[in-house]
Amino acid sequence: MQTHRFMFQGFSRSYWDFFYGYGLFAAFTCVVEAVLFWQLGSLDRRLAAPVLILFAAANVVYAALCWQFFFLTPLVFDLAIAACLALALAI
């Protein structure tokens, strides 16, 4: 993955660059979600509900994409996040 390089939109890249970059992107997205939900915790539940529903649905779709194209580890975490958000809506 690291040794075979090819030109992609004018840049020399390897499959490892895309794989590693995707991992960093996914980790950063999780940090942003965590900060957002921490801030939403102080809001009235009625104001936060649409955002929680949106992110719960997004994590289910993301889990489905992980099942189709990636592997089990991110799928488990996305389903756990969706379950926690659904629980937060139910309580």
Q: For residue 59, which of 81, 35, 32 has the smallest C-alpha distance? A: 81
- So what's the pLDDT on residue 58? 92
Is-above-0.75 flag for pTM?
A: no
User: What are the sequence ranges of the domains in the chain?
Assistant: 5-90
User: What pLDDT, in 10s, does the model give residues 25-80?
Assistant: 888 888 888 888 888 888 887 888 898 899 999 999 988 988 888 778 778 888 99
Residue 8's alpha-carbon distances to 11, 44, 63, 70, 78, in angstroms, are: 5, 47, 28, 22, 30
